[in-house]
Amino acid sequence: MSRAVLSLGSNLGDRHAYLRLAVDGLRDCLVAVSGVYETEAWGVRDQPDFLNAVCIVDDPAVDHRGWLRRAQELEQAAHRRREQRWGPRTLDVDVVTVDDVRSDDPELLLPHPGTSQRATVLIPWLEIDPAAEVPGHGQAADLLSALSEADRAGVRLRADLVL
């Protein structure tokens, strides 16, 4: 078994369509997908709001490197261009966790190093897995509680959008 948690983000063009493109590309191995959240940009703050979502996928034939490849193929399908770090993008697909794999390879850090600080990942993930754990960092619910109220308030469910 190889179960991965992937985070999806978009803040350029038809954001909802780009998230859909990603989820449609994962339908064969999709276990669960969160709602769509409108989120204030972190990192580079002077850019449009993002839409974020999280999905859980499972495929015994795909290992952690395989999940990174799948993620990068989806970004390429959305014509993602690598420009500014943390800058605007049509589609970002990050590998948050793969089972309890730990990796310090810069090409594939696991768990994804931003996870514990990002309400944009923790809130959608907890929606579909309330018992979620970040390997080596603890329960996602505890990590979310440790974030500021302002961080959490910047993540709002868009009930009008589905994936």
Ligand X SMILES: Nc1ncnc2c1ncn2[C@@H]1O[C@H](COP(=O)(O)OP(=O)(O)OP(=O)(O)O)[C@@H](O)[C@H]1O
Q: Enumerate binding residues for ligand PH2 (CB under 6 A).
A: 9, 39-43, 50, 52, 86, 92, 120
Question: Residue holding tokens 């999280």?
Answer: 54
21: number of CA atoms within 13 Å, CB side? 23
By a kind-dependent CB cut-off of 5 to 8 A, residue 107 interacts, out of ligand X, ligand PH2, none, with ligand X
Picking from 68, 86, 79, 66, the residue whose alpha carbon sits closest to that of residue 6 is 68
In angstroms, the Cα distances linking 31 to 3, 18, 129 are: 9, 19, 11
By a kind-dependent CB cut-off of 5 to 8 A, residue 39 interacts, out of ligand PH2, ligand X, none, with ligand PH2
Nearest position to ligand PH2, beta carbon: 9
Q: Which residues of this protein are in contact with ligand X, per CB under 6 A?
A: 68, 71, 82, 85-86, 92, 94-95, 107-110, 112, 114
Q: Where are the beta strands (DSSP E) in the chain?
A: 3-10, 30-33, 37-39, 50-58, 92-98, 103-105, 108-110, 133-134, 138-139, 155-157
By a kind-dependent CB cut-off of 5 to 8 A, residue 125 interacts, out of ligand PH2, ligand X, none, with none
Least CB distance to ligand X at residue 64 (A): 9
Least CB distance to ligand PH2 at residue 64 (A): 19
Query: For 93, which DSSP code?
Result: E
- Rank residues 59 and 92 by Cβ distance to ligand X and give the closer one: 92
